A = this chain, B = another copy of it.
Amino acid sequence: MYQLYDYVTSGNGYKVALLLHQCHKPFRYIETDILAGASRTPEFLELNPNGKIPVLVTPEGHVLSESNAILLYLAEGTPLLPDDPLLRFEVHRWLFWEQYSHEPFIATSRFWLHLPNAEEFADKLAARRPGGLKALELMERHLDGRTFLVGDRYTVADISLYAYTHKAHEANFSLENYPAIRAWLDRVAAQPDHLTIENKMNA
C-alpha cells in the first residue's frame, strides 16, 4: 500500500491524495506535523533530504518527493496525463508555473495566515500579494472559454492548480472577480471520485 507523509492543511499533499484516490490507489495517511518539527527529524530527512512534505512511499518501497513530480509519476499511462507531446508539454508548463508563479504567493500566504503568530507576517503577506493577483489573473484569462487547463480535458495540471486555488480565500485572495476560475473549480470538484482536502486523511 502507498504511504503518504503529509501535513494536515497542505495543498501539495492534497494533490497527491486526490490523484491516488481518483486512480483507485489506496494509501495510508501519515500525519506529519511540520510545525512541531516532524519533517526535520533524522528519520524524515532520510526519506526526503529537502525536509518537505509530501513524501510518497510506493508499495515497492520507492520514496518520492516534490508533489508535481509525484503527480507525473502516478499519472503516467492514465488519461490524466496526455501522450501527445504538445499536450504533455502544456501539462508540464502548468506544473512548473504552479510551483514558481502561483504556490509561493497563494500557498505561502495561506500558510502564514494559518500560523498562531500570523500577525507577524503582515509585511511578507503584502509583498506576496501582487504575485498572487498576477497568478489568478493569468488563470482567469486562460480559463475563460476553456473547460480545463489543457486540451479541454481533466489532467494532473487541473489537480495541481486546484489544490491551492480553491483555498485562495484562506490566503485572503477573493475569487469574486474571477468567474472563469470559479466555474473551473466547480468542474474539477464534479469529477468522478473527487476527494475534498478536508477528507484527504480518510480517503
Contact A66 B92 (CB under 8 A): yes
Contact B92 A50 (CB under 8 A): no
Distance of A111 from chain B, by nearest CB (Å): 14
Residue A97 at the chain B interface, CB threshold 8 Å: yes
Contacts of A49 in B (CB 8 A): 138, 141-142
Contact with B along A88-114 (1 / 0, CB 8 A): 110011011101110110000000000
Residue A121 at the chain B interface, CB threshold 8 Å: no
Residue A65 at the chain B interface, CB threshold 8 Å: yes
Residue A86 at the chain B interface, CB threshold 8 Å: yes
Contact B73 A85 (CB under 8 A): yes
Chain A: residues with Cβ within 8 Å of the partner, total of: 30
Contacts of A103 in B (CB 8 A): 100
> Which of B62, B89, B92 interacts with A86 by CB under 8 Å?
B62
Residue A31 at the chain B interface, CB threshold 8 Å: no
Contact B76 A93 (CB under 8 A): no
> Which of B67, B70, B85 interacts with A76 by CB under 8 Å?
B85
Contact B104 A89 (CB under 8 A): no
Distance of A145 from chain B, by nearest CB (Å): 14
Contact B50 A64 (CB under 8 A): no
Known: A89-B72, A92-B73. A66 touches B97 (CB 8 A): yes
Bound complex: CA A49 to CA B72 (Å): 24
**Chain B residue at smallest Cβ distance from A67:** B96
